[in-house]
Amino acid sequence: MQILWIKKTSLGVVIIDLILVCGYLFLIILILSAPASFRSRVEGNKGLLSQGFSFFIPPPAESPSSGPPFDHLIRDACRKHAMDPALVRAVIQAESRFDPLAVSSKGAIGLMQLSPIVTKALGIHDPFDPQLNINGGVRYLKDLLETFKGDRKLALAAYNAGPTQVYRHKGVPPFKQTKKYLSQVFRYISYYQKTPLS
């Protein structure tokens, strides 16, 4: 009798565990497929971000976005800082796939995935604001290009891995992720050179 009760209790615990796991998976799927307005509210919760939650999905290499909603902001920032719009669009595509609410697991934010250190250094109070994010990202990229004497490969490697890593390795750091990033950005540059701003 007691053994039968233990078996029934154990089965009940297993069923409850399965229900909890299924509910958790359903919640994750629901959040990831939620509209942008809901995602922005969730991403505004620093508690989730501090636990490593991220809604950023890396872009597939073969499908660049044109990003028309941000073309005027890109054009203005590029004129202001004398930068190539194809380069800026390529960086945005590689960094966030034109998602202004993108947040990486390391805390990089927005279209150009600005780190908290960079946003603070540039005085950007709201890195989710597309205009502030693009203008700040273009300014930072321009600074990197000047630092590395116009060498796009080194400037982009520094944008991805940080200038310290470029100096430490006396060139492009031997990181798989950085090499993949450079390959993507240069491929996107070629695409955007053939696709003018709208």
Query: CB of 98 within 8 A of CB of 65?
Result: yes
Query: CB of 65 within 8 A of CB of 96?
Result: no
Query: Residue 6 carries which side chain, given as an amino acid letter?
Result: I
Alpha helix ranges (H) inside the chain: 2-32, 36-43, 46-50, 71-81, 85-96, 116-122, 130-147, 152-161, 163-168, 176-193
Query: Which residues are the active-site residues?
Result: 95
Per-residue DSSP letter, 69 = G
